[in-house]
A = this chain, B = another copy of it.
Amino acid sequence: MNPASPRITINDVAARAGVSKGAVSMAFNNRPGVSQATRQRIFDVARELGWTPHQTARSLSSRRVDIVGLAICRPARLLGLEPFYMEFISGIESVLAERSCSLLLRLVRDLREEITLYEGWWRGKMIGGAILVDFHDDDPRVPALRAMGLPAVAVGHPSLTGGFPSVWTDDATAVAEAVRYLAALGHRRIARVGGPAGLGHSGIRGAAFGTAMAELGLDGRRQVATGFAGEDGARATRGLLLTPDRPTAIVYDNDIMAVAGAAVAAEMGLTVPDDVSLLAWDDSQLCRLTHPPLSAMSHDVHHFGGEVARALFGVIDGSGGESLQVPTPSLTPRGSTGPPRR
């Protein structure tokens, strides 16, 4: 099918341009040592021959890799990804592309598999760095990845990421804002549907929720820890709305659960927001597609992803290493929140 395709190498370019391959290499890495004229001639020849440096060879000798790894850990059952990740990935990509880097993506089933994967990637020098998401309490990835010396940035509050530089949003403050907003509307029974109990940011949000409710003299114990899938959100919502003194407002940890929650309310004959107010998180396009559109704690996930990529570059080439806080999610009121019915 593609027989004897005579691969063009740096040697061909060098020969044709009448220089040594060292010169070609210098020219292509814009390093000093070649005159402007020669440089130009080299480029011309390269274009003419259609030559591009062989990335594999390049990274073998320069010990640099233009690939970063991202493993996302979801149970097998939950096949797709949340909208959050799609936007997040596209944000990462946008910055990676600036440096013509690429993203190596893999979905894994558990943290052990994730560690093994990173180990293979790193030891096999497939990636130059990694992006770590979804931190758990006492996350086993921290010691493992630290031991192997993999450059990485974490997504999550610095208190969770075991010393890895992280990019994070102030979820605690955002939760407090959400709670105060709902309380100001007149809600007193506010519930929260969160992610899995062991997950770091769920913990932070859960605690912040409790504190904020307590400060207002309200009962902050209406919290459910569940998965992140829509069905989890549906089940949790159903449970909450069937309790005797059911909440009049529910805060969700992502948007897909909130959408599911809205459907459950409809199915139970409850009107949003009169009977129950719903507040989503992560505000993807999903929130604008329901009726009523969902109020959300929104943040620029695309930008977030970009900052993560930038931070990773900092770590990889040693110029960075500090954690970075990106803007706190802010309330975007839409139709799904309002004063509770008298």
| Chain A residues close to B by CB (< 8 Å) | 1-2, 5, 50-57, 59-60, 65, 67, 79-81, 83, 85-87, 89-91, 93-94, 97, 100, 102-107, 119-121, 123-126, 149, 151, 229-231, 233-234, 256, 259-260, 262-267, 284-286, 288-291, 293, 302, 318, 321
Query: A184: shortest Cβ distance to chain B, in Å?
Result: 27
Flag if B97 contacts A87 (CB, 8 Å): no
Q: Which residues of B contact A229 (CB under 8 A)?
A: 285
Query: A30: shortest Cβ distance to chain B, in Å?
Result: 17
Flag if B2 contacts A125 (CB, 8 Å): no
Give the one of A1, A80, A265, A286 with max B CB within 10 A: A80
Flag if A55 contacts B90 (CB, 8 Å): no
Bound CA–CA A107/B229 (angstroms): 25
Instruction: Name 17 A/B residue pairs within 8 A (Cβ), A-sorted.
Output: A1-B151, A2-B149, A5-B149, A52-B120, A55-B124, A56-B60, A56-B125, A56-B126, A79-B86, A79-B90, A79-B91, A81-B90, A89-B107, A100-B120, A103-B106, A230-B285, A230-B289
Q: Which residues of B contact A83 (CB under 8 A)?
A: 80
- In the A-B complex, the 6 residue pairs with the smallest Cβ-Cβ separation, listed nearest first, are A266-B291, A55-B124, A263-B291, A80-B86, A2-B149, A81-B86
Flag if B285 contacts A125 (CB, 8 Å): no
Flag if A67 contacts B106 (CB, 8 Å): no
Query: A91: shortest Cβ distance to chain B, in Å?
Result: 8
Q: A103-B106, A265-B291 are in contact. List 18 more A-B contacts (CB 8 A).
A: A51-B123, A53-B124, A56-B56, A56-B65, A56-B124, A57-B60, A67-B126, A79-B86, A79-B91, A79-B302, A80-B83, A81-B89, A102-B105, A102-B106, A230-B285, A231-B288, A233-B289, A266-B291
Flag if B264 contacts A291 (CB, 8 Å): yes
Flag if A90 contacts B107 (CB, 8 Å): yes
Contact of A104 among B54, B102, B234, B290 (CB under 8 A): B102
Contact of A231 among B231, B234, B285 (CB under 8 A): B285
Q: Which residues of B contact A50 (CB under 8 A)?
A: 123
